[in-house]
Amino acid sequence: MSGRVGRFAPTPSGRMHIGNVYAMLATWLSAHAGDGSGKILLRVEDVDEPRALKDADKWIMDDLHWLGLDWDGEPVYQSKRTEIYEEALRSLESVRLDDFALVYPCFCSRADLRAASAPQEGDRFLIYPGTCRKLLTEHPDEVRSRLEAGQRHSWRIAVPERDMQGSVVTFDDRIFGHQRFDLPREVGDTVIRRSDGIFSYQLAVVVDDLLMGVNDIVRGRDLLRSTALQIWIRRALVVSGFAKKYGIQRVDSPAYAHLPLIDDPTGVRLAKRKRSLDIGTLRADGVKPGQIIGYCAWLLGVRSSKSQGVHMPDASGPVAMSAREALECFTWRDVRADKSDHILEANWASEFDRRKSGSVA
């Protein structure tokens, strides 16, 4: 595919860690593989502005520059796009799903929801029991008067009921292969605007990917289920006429690649709040960008390096390299070869001291 458009979509909640760099490198490699016409956009996902960490966007950009992971154009900030998300919500309000509205106000509190449904493991989906969807269908006057009285509410997008058309979403993932999700059973009606007025990640990311022309999405496998929901929201935005309003005619589904995740040496998922593995600490310790890129390339299955124009097979351990050098050796086939989550070795950085190979160490 030519004209690939990928995106870095960091949440500015802290300094990047190795896991973030691994995902960014994969994004960068995916967009630039092939005929070289691809580009990468940078979107700062600060839609939840009150929770964004001041200056984290600047650290992230500085670390990306330092690592040689460049992007095209100016960064886009979700916090500046509220009006666009409002418009998307208004467009969705015009869509009906058989007998009921596709989006509806929800007056349930978190406590009500916890009481009503069993927690789901993994990516924190709580299947909403549909209370306020029924309320709107059965007692529209009550809903109207509660809205007029200014009662606190979120907005949800409905998914089709079981066995209805559209209730199953399928897509092919470059790494995990064919995916099939039953929306009513595995996803449920989802909040797209919170009761404090903040738009949810799920809506913002779909609106942005659509309007920014992103057609190549690379991220962690914990978002596989979200992808099914995002495909549903994307279709709804197209049906509602929202995409057309922005002059978007072609709305093919993007290509998706969901990466295995990375755990720290104790088996705990890497998180930005743990400072020990963040890029700031590594930089202060004298670790070089080529070492970090080489290590992440290794996690992406790169088992060779290019030196003086010659590819050298090298399966004994990571080799320091630049992103451009990694591009020469990267294939999705190698990523697919090992789909298990990775455990970061405690001494990963010292590997390089022993090996001393690679051109940019």
Long-range contacts for 163-168 (Cβ within 8 Å, ≥24 apart)?
A: 164/98, 166/232, 166/235
Q: How far is the CB of 320 from ligand GLU (least distance, A)?
A: 26
Instruction: Evaluate whether 260 touches 296 at the Cβ level (below 8 Å).
Output: no
In the complex with ligand GLU, which residue's Cβ is closer, 17 or 32? Answer: 17
Nearest CB to ligand GLU, comparing residues 45 and 63: 45
Rounded to a whole number of angstroms, the minimum distance from the CB of residue 339 to ligand GLU is 19
Residue 263 or residue 345: which is nearer to ligand GLU going by CB?
Answer: 263
Q: What φ, ψ does residue 350 adopt, rounded to 5°? A: -75, -20
Nearest to 40 by CA among 94, 67, 3, 12: 3
Residues lying near ligand GLU in the complex (CB under 6 A) are found at 9-11, 45, 205, 219, 223
Q: How far is the CB of 201 from ligand GLU (least distance, A)?
A: 7
What is each CA distance from 35 to 8, 84, 217, 327, in whole angstroms?
A: 20, 33, 18, 12
Report, in Å, the least distance between residue 226 CB and ligand GLU: 7
Nearer Cβ to ligand GLU, position 133 or 219? 219
Tokens read off for 210: 């659509």
At closest approach, how far in Å is the CB of 9 from ligand GLU? 4
Cβ proximity to ligand GLU, 45 vs 351, nearer residue: 45
Tokens 């998300």, residue located: 85
Between 8 and 128, name the residue whose CB sits nearer to ligand GLU: 8
**How far are the Cα atoms of 7, 209, 218, 280 from residue 29, in angstroms, in the given order?**
11, 19, 10, 23
**What is the nearest approach in angstroms of ligand GLU to the Cβ of residue 10?**
6
Q: How far is the CB of 306 from ligand GLU (least distance, A)?
A: 29
Judged by CB, which is closer to ligand GLU: 203, or 321? 203
Give the span between the Cα atoms of 356 and 351, in whole angstroms.
9
